[in-house]
């Protein structure tokens, strides 16, 4: 399908850097449209060692490597097509979004990266089967699914690692949602950002489960992870210590995952989460992603564990708590946390056909 070419305008140095990066990944064939409408799915992912802090704000290069576990069939289904209008349209769960909203704006900024040579607008329809804006990594799966859809629409012949670097420009954690199972996103060393991408880990652990606890909103001020990360990195007197701590946690977690030592993994992910929240709370002004409800749930997890139930929590930049446990303890977890708790089997093969196999 031929596309109208665009008149070149000058860009701010920040945008120009992102565009250069995209060009270096996509050259030479970027706009070979083969299908009018494409679909893609990407799973959400939960960080076990968190990404927190950027060494480059434009290219979303992290200060530390991170490790996650993808959420099987929980994530984003995206349908993408070229619009016949002169604006994008963004739909979330069947509801058309205001293009200036906090949800749509980052998506439009991301799409801007792919219409520099051809004037093209998009219809993006996304359905999430997890809650959004609450720390369940909906932006990770959303940008990963959108990246996969763009690849299909434009027939990019590029590797999964290159896709991971493109998704990273939408949301850092999206770089990890290009794979199932355990995933490591490498910090990389180079300033151009071409060595910072995610790869799957060769570990399968079919007994592992995540419990997603239903959260109650209690007037917690909603700050996005992007805003919180920015403020924290610039104002926390503790931030300098974080990158080396997180690198060390990655190393320890890799060993524990390969050895399948559940309690070591659980203890480590809780500790990593607590260090990140201590950093976040030491921002100036302080940011809290926790309220009394979250703290009560954390206390309950710790108490249950002391009573003999092997169960660990992690929490991201939202009020949801995620619990890690093994299948044989499912009944106890449901009894303690209620039947509204969503149990996710990260290694269950999703029904969607185009999904990537697990590594290993």
| 137 versus 297: smaller Cβ distance to ligand PMV | 137
**What is the rounded CA–CA span in Å between residue 259 and residue 205?**
11
Q: Is 314 in the site for ligand PMV (CB under 6 A)?
A: no
Phi then psi for residue 90, to 5 deg, are -120, 120
Asked if residue 231 lies in contact with residue 224, where contact means CB atoms within 8 angstroms, the answer is no
Site string for ligand PMV, 122-141 (x = CB under 6 A): ---------------x-xx-
**What is the rounded CA–CA span in Å between residue 190 and residue 155?**
28
Q: Is 53 in the site for ligand PMV (CB under 6 A)?
A: no
Asked if residue 42 lies in contact with residue 221, where contact means CB atoms within 8 angstroms, the answer is no
Q: Is 283 in the site for ligand PMV (CB under 6 A)?
A: no
Task: Pick the piece of the chain touching ligand PMV (CB under 6 A) from 13-21, 155-163, 167-175, 304-312.
Answer: 167-175
Inter-CA distances, 120 with 33, 85, 94, 173, 237, Å: 12, 9, 23, 27, 45
Q: Is 47 in the site for ligand PMV (CB under 6 A)?
A: yes
The single residue among 44, 64, 65, 66 that binds ligand PMV, judged by CB under 6 A, is 66
Interstrand relation of 89-92 and 122-128 (parallel, antiparallel or unpaired): parallel
Q: Is 50 in the site for ligand PMV (CB under 6 A)?
A: yes
Question: Under rule CB under 6 A, which residues in 192-231 are in contact with ligand PMV?
Answer: 225-226
Please, what is the minimum distance in Å from the beta carbon of residue 272 to ligand PMV? Answer: 10
Task: Pick the piece of the chain touching ligand PMV (CB under 6 A) from 75-83, 91-99, 170-178, 295-303.
Answer: 170-178
Q: Is 65 in the site for ligand PMV (CB under 6 A)?
A: no
Task: Pick the piece of the chain touching ligand PMV (CB under 6 A) from 14-22, 25-33, 44-52, 231-239.
Answer: 44-52
Q: Is 270 in the site for ligand PMV (CB under 6 A)?
A: no
Q: Is 110 in the site for ligand PMV (CB under 6 A)?
A: no
For 63, the 3-state DSSP assignment is coil
| 152 versus 226: smaller Cβ distance to ligand PMV | 226
Task: Please tell me the count of residues contacting ligand PMV according to CB under 6 A.
Answer: 14
Asked if residue 40 lies in contact with residue 145, where contact means CB atoms within 8 angstroms, the answer is yes
Task: Pick the piece of the chain touching ligand PMV (CB under 6 A) from 2-10, 22-30, 46-54, 116-124.
Answer: 46-54
Q: Is 169 in the site for ligand PMV (CB under 6 A)?
A: no
Task: Pick the piece of the chain touching ligand PMV (CB under 6 A) from 23-31, 45-53, 157-165, 306-314.
Answer: 45-53
**What is the rounded CA–CA span in Å between residue 40 and residue 79?**
7
Q: Is 324 in the site for ligand PMV (CB under 6 A)?
A: no
Q: Is 172 in the site for ligand PMV (CB under 6 A)?
A: yes
**What is the rounded CA–CA span in Å between residue 151 and residue 114?**
11
Please, what is the minimum distance in Å from the beta carbon of residue 281 to ligand PMV? Answer: 13
Please, what is the minimum distance in Å from the beta carbon of residue 161 to ligand PMV? Answer: 18
Q: Is 316 in the site for ligand PMV (CB under 6 A)?
A: yes
- Say which residues have a Cβ less than 8 Å from residue 79's Cβ, sequence separation at least 6: 37, 38, 39, 123, 124, 125, 126, 149
CA proximity to 90, closest of 104, 75, 102, 106 = 104
- Say which residues have a Cβ less than 8 Å from residue 231's Cβ, sequence separation at least 6: 283, 284, 287
Q: Is 232 in the site for ligand PMV (CB under 6 A)?
A: no
**What is the rounded CA–CA span in Å between residue 146 and residue 44?**
13
Please give the structure tokens belonging to residue 338. Answer: 């209620």
| 171 versus 329: smaller Cβ distance to ligand PMV | 171
Interstrand relation of 37-49 and 66-82 (parallel, antiparallel or unpaired): antiparallel
List contacts with ligand PMV (CB under 6 A): 47, 50-51, 66, 137, 139-140, 171-173, 225-226, 316-317
């Amino acid at each position: 399908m031929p596309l109208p070419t665009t008149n070149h305008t000058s860009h701010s140095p920040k945008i120009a850097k992102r565009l250069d990066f995209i060009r270096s990944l996509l050259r030479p064939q970027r706009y070979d449209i083969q299908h009018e409408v494409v679909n893609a799915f990407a799973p959400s992912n939960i960080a076990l060692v968190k990404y927190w802090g950027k060494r480059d704000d434009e290219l979303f290069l992290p200060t530390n490597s991170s490790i996650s576990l993808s959420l099987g069939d929980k994530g984003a289904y995206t349908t993408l097509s070229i619009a016949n209008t002169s604006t994008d349209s963004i739909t979330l769960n069947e509801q058309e979004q205001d293009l200036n909203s906090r949800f749509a704006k980052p998506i439009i900024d991301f799409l801007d990266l792919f219409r520099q040579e051809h004037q093209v607008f998009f219809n993006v329809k996304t359905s999430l089967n997890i809650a959004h804006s609450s720390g369940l990594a909906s932006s990770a799966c959303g940008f990963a699914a959108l990246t996969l859809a763009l690849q299909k629409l434009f027939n990019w012949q590029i590797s999964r690692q290159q896709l991971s670097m493109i998704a990273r420009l939408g949301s850092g954690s999206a770089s990890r949602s290009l794979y199932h199972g355990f995933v490591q996103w490498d910090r990389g060393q180079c300033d151009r950002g071409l060595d910072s991408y995610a790869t799957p880990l060769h570990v399968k652990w079919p007994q592992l489960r995540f419990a997603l606890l239903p959260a109650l909103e209690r007037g917690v001020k909603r700050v996005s992870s992007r805003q919180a990360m920015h403020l924290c990195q610039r104002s926390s007197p503790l931030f300098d210590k974080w990158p080396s701590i997180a690198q060390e946690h990655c190393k320890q977690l890799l060993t524990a995952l390969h050895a399948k030592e559940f309690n070591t993994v659980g203890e480590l992910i809780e500790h990593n989460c607590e260090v990140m929240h201590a950093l976040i709370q030491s921002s100036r002004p302080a940011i809290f992603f926790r309220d009394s409800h979250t703290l009560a749930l954390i206390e309950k997890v710790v108490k249950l564990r002391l009573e003999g139930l092997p169960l660990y929590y992690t929490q991201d930049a939202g009020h949801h708590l995620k619990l890690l446990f093994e299948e044989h303890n499912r009944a106890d977890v449901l009894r303690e946390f209620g039947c509204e708790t969503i149990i996710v089997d990260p290694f269950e093969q999703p029904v969607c056909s185009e999904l990537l196999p697990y590594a290993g």
